[in-house]
C-alpha cells in the first residue's frame, strides 16, 4: 500500500532534494538576538546555550527561550535573560534541513499527481453480502489503494510537478557577460531542467501507456441515443456483470455545447416530460 511518506521520499530521490543535518555555532557579543542558520526549511531543531564562566550548558525551550522560523532558517532569542547573546556565551543549534522543498510542499505535489494519475478510475471488488447475494463494490482509486506497480509512476508525475516549479524559477535567469569578457551562461540551468523534464515525462508516458493508466489511458465510452419521439437523451446505466444483483447505477456523461446557449432570454414553449 502506497503511503504519503514513501512517495515523498521517492520524489526527493528523483529531484535530488535529500534532507541533511546541520550544526551551527554562534558566539555572543552583546549585540544580536536573531541568528541566521546555515539551512532553510529546517525542522527537529535543538538549541543549547553554553557559558564559560561558570562553565555550564542549558537546553533552550521552544517558544519560551527562542522562536524558530523554519522556512527562513532563522532563530530569535526571546527570553530577556538570554537576549542579546552576551560575551562568553555560545549558542549551538542542531537540526535537520528538509531541502529545497518541505514535506508540506511535496505533499501538495503528490496530491495533484494522485488526482491526475487516478482520475476517473475505480477498483471493483466482488463479494457476497449477508443475504447470500453477489455484490460489487466500486471504490475510487486513491493513494491508499493504489496498486504497488503504479507507485513509481506516481513519484515520476509528482517529480515532474516539482521540476516545473524549479524550471519556472530558472526561466528568469539571464546570461551574464562582463566587460572583461567573462561569460556566465545562467540560462543553461533552465535548458537542462527542460531537457530532463522531457525525459522524465517520456518515461512516465511510456510506463503509463503499458499499464493503460493516467489521463492519456484508453477508455471505452457508450454512444448516447436521442429518442425520436421526445427528442431527449435516452438514459444509460453502468454496465454490470450478469450476477450483479445491486441496483442500477445511472450515468450522467458531460454534455458539451455551451457555446450554443441561447442568450436571448425568450422562453421556449416546452412542456416538461413531453416533447422538446
In a domain, 78, yes or no: yes
Task: Answer whether residue 116 is part of any domain.
Answer: no
Question: In which domain, by residue range, is 78 found?
Answer: 19-97
Domain count of the fold of the chain: 1
Residue 226 lies in a domain: no
Q: Is residue 118 part of a domain?
A: no
pLDDT greater than 70 at residue 38: yes
Specify if 23 maps to a domain: yes
Q: What angle do CA 207, 213, 219 make, to 5 degrees?
A: 130
The runs of H, that is alpha helices, within the chain are: 4-15, 103-117, 151-170, 188-211
pLDDT of residue 207: 94
Q: Is 95 exposed, middle or buried (0-12, 13-18, 19+ CB in 10 A)?
A: buried
User: Under 8 Å CB-to-CB from 106, ≥6 apart: which residues?
Assistant: 8, 11, 12, 158, 162
Establish if 66 belongs to a structural domain.
Answer: yes
pLDDT at 276 over 50: no
**Residue 101 DSSP code:** S
Which of the four pLDDT bands, split at 50, 70 and 90, describes residue 270?
A: low
Q: What is the pLDDT of residues 63-115, one digit of tens each?
A: 888 888 888 888 888 888 888 888 888 999 998 888 888 888 899 999 999 99
Query: What's the whole-model pTM score?
Result: 0.74
Domain assignment present for 57: yes
Share of the chain above pLDDT 90, in %: 28
Q: Which residues lie closer than 8 Å to 227 by C-beta, 6 or more apart?
A: 233, 234
Q: Give residue-wise pLDDT tens across range 180-221.
A: 878 888 888 999 999 999 999 999 999 999 999 999 998 888
Q: Long-range pairs for 228-235 at CB < 8 Å and ≥24 separation?
A: 230/274, 230/275, 230/276, 231/275, 231/276
Domain contains 136: no
Could you give the percent of the chain with pLDDT greater than 70?
Answer: 96
| Nearest Cα to Cα of residue 85 among 46, 29, 47 | 29
Amino acid at each position: 500500500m502506497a503511503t504519503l511518506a514513501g512517495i515523498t521520499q521517492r520524489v526527493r530521490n528523483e529531484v535530488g532534494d535529500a534532507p541533511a543535518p546541520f550544526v551551527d555555532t554562534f558566539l555572543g557579543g552583546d549585540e544580536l538576538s536573531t541568528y541566521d542558520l546555515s539551512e532553510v526549511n529546517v525542522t527537529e531543531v535543538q538549541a543549547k546555550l553554553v557559558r564559560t564562566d561558570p562553565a555550564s550548558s542549558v537546553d533552550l525551550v521552544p517558544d519560551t527561550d527562542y522562536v524558530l522560523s523554519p522556512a527562513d532558517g532563522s532563530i530569535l532569542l526571546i527570553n530577556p535573560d538570554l537576549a542579546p547573546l552576551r560575551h562568553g556565551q555560545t549558542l549551538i543549534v542542531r537540526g535537520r534541513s528538509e531541502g529545497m522543498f518541505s514535506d508540506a510542499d511535496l505533499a501538495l505535489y503528490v496530491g495533484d499527481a494522485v488526482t491526475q494519475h487516478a482520475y476517473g478510475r475505480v477498483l471493483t471488488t466482488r463479494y457476497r453480502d449477508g443475504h447470500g447475494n453477489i455484490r460489487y463494490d466500486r471504490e475510487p482509486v486513491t493513494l491508499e489503494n493504489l496498486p504497488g506497480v503504479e507507485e513509481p509512476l506516481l513519484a515520476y508525475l509528482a517529480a515532474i510537478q516539482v521540476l516545473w516549479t524549479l524550471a519556472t524559477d530558472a526561466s528568469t535567469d539571464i546570461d551574464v557577460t562582463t566587460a572583461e569578457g567573462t561569460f556566465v551562461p545562467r540560462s543553461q540551468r533552465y535548458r537542462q531542467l527542460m531537457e530532463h523534464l522531457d525525459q522524465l515525462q517520456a518515461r512516465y508516458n511510456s510506463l503509463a501507456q503499458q499499464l493503460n493508466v493516467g489521463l492519456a489511458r484508453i477508455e471505452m465510452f457508450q454512444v448516447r441515443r436521442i429518442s425520436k419521439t421526445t427528442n431527449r437523451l435516452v438514459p444509460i446505466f453502468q454496465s454490470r456483470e450478469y450476477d450483479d444483483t445491486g441496483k442500477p447505477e445511472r450515468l450522467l456523461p458531460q454534455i458539451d455545447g455551451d457555446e450554443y446557449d441561447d442568450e436571448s432570454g425568450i422562453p421556449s414553449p416546452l412542456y416538461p416530460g413531453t416533447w422538446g
